[in-house]
Structure 1
Amino acid sequence: MDCSICSSLPVILRPPRNTICVSCYDGAKCVINLINKLQNDRKPTNNNVSPVSPIGSSCKTLTNASKWIIDLKNREDELEDKINFLAQFTAAFRHQIHTDIQLNPGSPASPSISAHRALLATRSEIFKNILDSDGCKAAPTNSTITLPELSHEELESLMEFLYSGDLGEEKVKKHVYSLALAGDKYEIPYLQKFCERYMLKWLNCESALDVLEVAEVCSCRALKESALDFIVRNMEEIVFSSGFEAFALKNPHLSVQITRASLMDARKNRPNSSS
C-alpha cells in the first residue's frame, strides 16, 4: 500500500488518497501517547497551577504534536541560555575573582582553595551555619573552613561542582564516593542525586559493595536496595572477590543483610516442594 507519509512520492498522495502504512500509523499513535503522558506527568510550577501548554490539555493530532515539540525545543534553547549565563560565575572561581574565604583539605601539607562565602552559604545549609558562626564573622578576610575528610583533589572537585552544577565524567568516576558522602554531610541534595545517578549507571560487580556502603552511610534507601539486589543476583562472583573479606570485616551489619537477602531470594525462587 502506498503511504502518504513515507512513500518516495508523497506529493501525489494528497487527500482523499491520504492512506498511511501500519508503521506510520503506529508511530503516530506512539508520539501522541508519549506527549500526552509527558503532559500529564508535568508537575505544577507553583500554587498548584499547571504549566501553560500551547496545545491545550491533550494532544490528539500530529499537528498539535509538532507544536508541542517546537515548544519543547524553545524551552530547551531558553534553558541553555540560562545555563550559559549562570555558568559565568564559574569563571569567578577559576580565576579567583574577589574570593573571600579559604577552604582547607584534610591534609595539612595540601594547599588551600579560595572560594566565595555567598556561594557556599547558598549551596549548603551546613556551610551557611558555619559561616554564620562568630569565628568566621570575626575576621572575614582571613577566615578558613577545614574539610578534614576530603583530599585536595576531592575538595577541588566539590568546589567545581558547587560553582557549575556539573563535573567531568573522569572526575566523577574518581571521586564519586567521596562526593556523595560530602553531599550527605554538608546537606547538598543536588550533589547527592547527581552522585546516585552515576553510581547506579556504573553499578557492577567491582563497585557494588562500595555503592552499598555509601548508600548505607547516606541513608539512601533506593540506592541501597538497588545495590543489594545487584549483589544478590551476582552473589557468587562478589562474595568470592578479593575485596569482600575486607568489606565484611568493616561492615558486619551489611554482610548480615546481604546473607539474609540472598536466603530470601533463594527461598522465593525455590521450586514448590509439593509439586
Structure 2
Amino acid sequence: MRCLSCTEKYDVAGTCKECYEELNETEEELKSEIDDLRAKVAFLRFWSPLDHHYPGRPIVPGFTDVALVASSDEPSAGPAVPVPAHKALLVSRSPVFRAMLENEMEESRTGTIKIGDVSYDALRAFVNYLYTAEACLDEQLACDLLVLAEKYQVKHLKTYCEKFLVSKLNWDSSIMSYAFAHQHNAKLMLDSALSLITDNMDKLTTKAEYVDLVEKDPRLVVEIYEAYLSKQVNTAAHKDSSPGL
C-alpha cells in the first residue's frame, strides 16, 4: 500500500504513522492560530452601546458623544428614537462620517446625524454592524443596509449584504434585484441577476415587473437585451466550433 499523503509504501491502507503525526501537529497548530485570532478579534472589538438594549428599556449611552436619528418627512411618524454612537468609531468606519464630523458641519456642532428614508430598526442594525461586524440579515434588512453602506461608503458591509442577497436570488425575483443592484452599484448582485434574467427571458418578459421596468427605465431593458443577444451569439459560436457538429 502507499500512504495517501507521502505516497511511500507501507503495510496498512490509509496514511502512514509519520504523516499521520505530522497532520495532527499541523491541525493543532491551525487550531491554536484560530484561537489566537479569535482572542485578538474579541480584544479589538468595539463595545457597542446597543449590546444591552432590550425592548421596553432605554438605551444606555455609555459615554457616547453623537446620536443618529432616522428622520422622516411624515408628521405622523412621531418623535424619532436616537441611536447612540461614538464619533471616533463613526470616523474610523466611514469616510462620509469622517467628513461630517471633522469639519464644521451641522452634524459636528449638534452631535446629531439625521438619516432619511430609513427605519429605526435598519439604522440600529447599521450602527451595531459598525461596532461588531455582525448582522442578523433577512432580505429586506440586507437591502436597507446595502443602501446605507453605499451612502456612507462602508465597503465591508456592502459586500456582506450583497453576498447574502445573491444567495437568495432566484429567477422570479431577478428583474427587481437587477434594478436594485443597478441603482446601488452592486456589481456582484447585478451580474448574478442578469445571468438569471438572460437564462429565463421567455418567462420573465410576461411578468408585471418586466412591464414596469420597460415603462420606468427602458435603458435597463436595452442592457438586458444586449446581454441576452450576446449570450445567444456566444452559445451559437460555441456550438459551431464544437467537434463532430
TM category, shorter: 0.7 to 0.9
**Residue in 2 that maps onto 1:145:** 113
The residue that corresponds to 1:168 in the other structure is 136
Partner of 2:219: 253
- The range that moved more, 123-132 or 65-74, is 65-74
Within the candidate set 141, 144, 161, 1:195 is matched to 161
Is the aligned partner of 1:18 residue 2:11? yes
Aligned partners of 1:61, 1:258: CA distance in 2, in Å? 54
Gaps of 5+ in 2: 53-59
In 1, distance between residues paired with 2:107 and 2:217? 41
2:28 paired with 1:70: yes
Give the equivalent residue in structure 1 for 2:57. Answer: none
Give the alignment of 1:21-36 within 5 angstroms.
24=14
- The equivalent position to 1:128 in structure 2, one of 70, 88, 98, is 98
Residue 248 (structure 1) shift: 3.1
For 1:79, the equivalent position in structure 2 comes to 37
Q: Shift in Å at residue 136 of structure 1? A: 4.6
After superposition, the Cα gap between the structure-2 partners of 1:231 and 1:100, relative to the gap in structure 1 and judged at 3 Å, is same
Q: Which residue in the other structure is 1:49 paired with?
A: none
Q: Within 1, Cα distance between the matches of 2:209 and 2:20?
A: 55
CA distance in 2, matches of 1:4, 1:136: 70
* Cα pair 2:194 2:224 within 8 Å, conserved: yes
Q: Which amino acid aligns with 2:89?
A: L
Alignment of structure 1 residues 26-105 onto 2, 5 Å: 61-87=19-45, 89-91=47-49, 94=52, 95-105=60-70
Residues 262 and 78 (structure 1 numbering): CA distance in 2 closer, same or farther, change over 3 Å? same
Larger relative contact order, structure 1 or 2 (CA cutoff 8 Å, min sep 6): 2
Cross-structure match for 1:236: 202
Partner SS state of residue 105, structure 2: helix
Q: Is the 8 A contact 1:93 1:115 kept in 2?
A: no
Q: Deviations over 1:21-76 (max 9, x none)?
A: xxx47xx9xxxxxxxxxxxxxxxxxxxxxxxxxxxxxxx94444333322221122
CA shift, 1:157, in A, is: 1.6
Q: State the distance in 1 between where 2:107 and 2:137 align.
A: 37
Q: What displacement does 1:160 show? A: 1.7
Superposition RMSD in Å = 3.1
Cα distance, 1:206 vs structure 2: 3.6
TM-score when normalising by structure 1: 0.69
Which amino acid is the alignment partner of residue 160 of structure 1? N
User: Could you tell me how far 1:234 is from its partner in structure 2?
Assistant: 2.2
Distance 1:137-1:223 versus aligned 2 partners, 3 A rule: closer
User: In 2, distance between residues paired with 1:196 and 1:128?
Assistant: 24
Distance 2:62 2:188 in 1: 40
User: In structure 2, what is the Cα distance between the partners aligned to 1:269 and 1:144?
Assistant: 56
**Secondary structure of 1:187's match?**
coil
Match of 1:219, SS state, is: coil
Say which SS state the counterpart of residue 207 (structure 1) adopts.
Answer: helix
The yes-or-no answer on 1:156 pairing with 2:124 is yes
Paired-residue identity, %: 23
Superposition pairs of residues 206-217 of structure 1, within 5 angstroms: 206-217=172-183
Secondary structure at the residue paired with 2:170? coil
Query: 1: CA distance between counterparts of 2:84 and 2:99?
Result: 19
Q: Which residue of 2 aligns with 1:47?
A: none
Contact 2:102 2:108 in 1 (8 A): no
Structure 1 counterpart of 2:165, one-letter code: M
